[in-house]
């Protein structure tokens, strides 16, 4: 039938292989010369994109609140062309910030570095270059607190409050034609109000984001994503 054929057509490429092939070939669709030519370096004192700046974290990170962080360059960094001209000395300081917006299941902190402060007091603003771990993965990973005790404890407390509320409510005798006494009405009102307020308060703990902590001394790299031209070698 037409519906069956339509369904078969929709599932002809369930893994999206055609789009993957298109993505792989999109930059080489037109054979021939590349539109860009080689650009010579502007200065012998250049640090090219793709280089890394090894560093060690001085201040710790706790994702409960946003904040600023500092680090220290742990190795000398030399020019990309020859590897002999010192551009960033060991001991230079890094200044940056981290992202405190953490989603459920996330275990890495996004970090960017904005400034390099040299030992002689000069400063280089580097925009927002990303921090990676020693293996090159984006973000920092150290300790993760998913607040399981708090989350599941709140769930148990909500269940206990619900059960306690049912016990406080007066028995419903459908065969009786008498109305609730004053004490029964008061118990019912108190139980229902207490249950609603308690569940609203406790349920907030079920939406607590994980806490990611990066301790001082964490080793990482700053990934250079733009060519940096220095006025001269550092002395």
Same domain? 155 vs 118: no
Same domain? 83 vs 184: no
End-to-end CA distance of the chain: 79
CB 161 within 8 A of CB 202: yes
Q: How far, in Å, are 164, 165, 169, 184 from residue 194 at the CA level? A: 10, 8, 12, 15
Contacts of 90 (CB under 8 A, 6+ apart): 73, 74, 75, 76
Q: Specify the pLDDT at position 203.
A: 62
Same domain? 69 vs 95: yes
Q: Specify the pLDDT at position 14.
A: 72
Same domain? 51 vs 121: yes
3-state secondary structure of 197: helix
Q: How many domains does the chain have?
A: 2
- Give rounded-to-5 percent helix, strand, coil for the chain: 30, 25, 45
CATH number at residue 106: 2.40.128.260
Q: Give Rg (Cα) of the chain.
A: 30
- Residue 211, beta-bridge partner list: 145
Beta-carbon neighbour count of residue 90 at 10 Å?
A: 14
The token duo for 136 is: 């090159």
CB 191 within 8 A of CB 169: yes
Same domain? 71 vs 108: yes
Q: Specify the pLDDT at position 148.
A: 64
Domain that holds residue 185: 148-171+180-207
CB 229 within 8 A of CB 127: no
Pairing of strands 219-223, 52-57: antiparallel
Q: Is residue 194 part of a domain?
A: yes
Q: Is residue 15 part of a domain?
A: no
The token duo for 34 is: 């590349």
Q: Is residue 50 part of a domain?
A: yes
* Short-list 152, 169, 168, 167, CA closest to 205: 152
Same domain? 53 vs 115: yes
For the chain, which residues score pLDDT lower than 70? Answer: 1-11, 24-31, 147-207
Q: Specify the pLDDT at position 4.
A: 47
Q: Specify the pLDDT at position 131.
A: 95
Q: Specify the pLDDT at position 177.
A: 44
Q: What is the DSSP string of 126-160?
A: EEEEEEE-TTS-BSB--EEE--HHHHHHHHHHHHH
Contacts of 103 (CB under 8 A, 6+ apart): 209
Same domain? 225 vs 184: no
Same domain? 123 vs 163: no
Same domain? 121 vs 221: yes
Whether the full predicted model's pTM is greater than 0.95, yes or no, is no
Q: Is residue 38 part of a domain?
A: no
Q: Specify the pLDDT at position 154.
A: 59
Q: Is residue 35 part of a domain?
A: no
C-alpha angle with apex 79: 78 to 82, nearest 5 degrees? 105
């Amino acid at each position: 039938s037409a519906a069956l054929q339509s369904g078969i057509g929709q599932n002809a490429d369930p893994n999206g292989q055609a789009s993957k092939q298109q993505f792989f070939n999109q930059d080489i669709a037109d054979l021939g010369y590349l539109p860009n030519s080689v650009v010579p370096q502007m200065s012998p004192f250049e640090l090219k994109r793709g280089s890394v700046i090894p560093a060690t974290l001085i201040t710790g990170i706790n994702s409960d609140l946003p904040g600023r962080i500092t680090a220290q360059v742990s190795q000398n960094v030399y020019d990309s062309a020859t590897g002999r001209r010192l551009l960033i000395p060991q001991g230079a300081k890094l200044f940056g910030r981290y992202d405190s917006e953490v989603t459920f299941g996330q275990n890495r902190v996004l970090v960017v570095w904005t400034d390099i402060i040299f030992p002689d007091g000069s400063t280089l603003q580097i925009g927002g270059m990303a921090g990676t771990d020693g293996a090159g993965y984006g973000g920092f990973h150290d300790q993760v607190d998913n607040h399981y005790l708090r989350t599941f404890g709140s769930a148990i407390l909500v269940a206990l409050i619900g059960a306690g509320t049912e016990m406080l409510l007066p028995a419903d005798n459908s065969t009786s034609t008498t109305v609730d006494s004053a004490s029964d009405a008061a118990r019912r009102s108190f139980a229902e109000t207490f249950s609603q307020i308690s569940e609203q308060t406790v349920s907030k703990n079920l939406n607590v984001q994980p806490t990611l902590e990066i301790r001082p001394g964490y080793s990482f790299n700053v990934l250079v994503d733009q060519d940096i031209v220095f006025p001269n070698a550092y002395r």
